[in-house]
Structure 1
Amino acid sequence: MILTDLFYLALPALALFFILEIVQLAIYLKHTLTPETYHKMYPVWVLLLVSFLLLNTAFIAEEFFGSETLYLLFEMVAVLVFVGATAMIRRGIISVNVLMGVTGELRAKINEKTLELKMAKDQLEEYSKSLEKMVEERTKELQENVGELTEARTALINMMDDVEAANKFLRESVEKLKEVDKMKDQLLSNVSHELRTPITIVKSALELMTDEDVSEEQQKLIKMSKSNLN
């Protein structure tokens, strides 16, 4: 008894839920079907709503009013609605082809969406493959560039080592040249000192020869010798 009471209390909510579902279905089909096919479906929506409301009203009448007469009345009206719907279908007012057309259009829409999704998936896979290939090419280029930079760095280091060795050789050569120059100066100083005494003697002898009577030719030779000694 309690479960029955709960069922009848929840019945209006269930009715509202099913009505909302029917309305949502109608809105969806309106955006999916062609206008001509959708307009032919109007009697279907009316029959669904009326039949459901009549059955719901019959249950409410029996439970809350305790009237079997109202219950039977609403049930009879619901049956008449279904009979009328059958008659409409038989007379061609609601063609079975319309219902089949609805199904066909829905199937076509589903197939179209499926095809679009498949094409989008294929494009995404193709883009993913091209992106992977691009990444591989970029990675290969970077690796090659890194190799070239490493080789250039090694060559630069070797060149710097060669320059350092050359600088060292030049420094050593300069030091050796300084030593040679120093030795030259010392040698010249020694030679000059050693030659100074004989030159002085020669100069004195030339002076003595100048004072003597000599020929003109000898005078020229003496003057030339003096000029060379100065």
Structure 2
Amino acid sequence: MFLTRRQFLKTTAGTIAAIAIADKALALTALQPVIEVGNPLGEYPDRSWERVYHDQYRYDSSFSYICSPNDTHACRVRAFVRNGVVMRIEQNYDHQTYEDLYGNRGTFAWNPRMCLKGYTFHRRVYGPYRLKGPMIRKGWKQWVDDGCPELSPDVKIRYKFANRGEDDMLRVSWDTAGMYLAKGQLKIAERYSGEAGARRLREQGYAPEQIEAMKGGGTKAFHYRPGMAVLG
């Protein structure tokens, strides 16, 4: 059927007019009408996504501790645990409530007190590259097995004391690690006890006051750094 331009315009105008005055039941019945909502928070059709935000900071328990990995600030922080895993670490905001051994007390001005490394320390604890058991340097283990010979320049090279980061690490059991630790302690105590030990310490540049305070005890030559909490 051929329509002239005049006929096409008449037909189009009539159609538009019909749509404009048609009842809602006749107009665009394939589309769902807009629902009028007075309170979106009360009428929103699907709110399940909100659980993600509601539960984001949920925790089962928490505990406070001193964060002293490698400094003397000794920040008191709090860890939050869920399902047995530390989920986050926050400042504890209580530095004004406790004292040191000498009775010194902080103030509210110490809060907040925590660095970014402390905030993310739990990521290192649970990180894929964390140590999951004791390890001993191969050269040091062989040195102990050989009776801890005098560390002359040649011996240091042989057992890789002078090659930091170039030796292999051996995974051992906790009992084995403890045994080698005890052997090392005994060797140090024997080597630096008595007058012979004091002479070695003087040769190594130790201050006379330090040597005098040891009173011949080689155990005083132990150098431990298990944590910085005491220094803090």
TM-score range (shorter-chain normalised) is under 0.3
Q: Which structure dedicates a bigger proportion of its chain to helix?
A: 1
Q: Which structure dedicates a bigger proportion of its chain to strand?
A: 2
Select the structure of larger CA radius of gyration: 1
Query: Scaled by the length of structure 1, what TM-score is found?
Result: 0.23
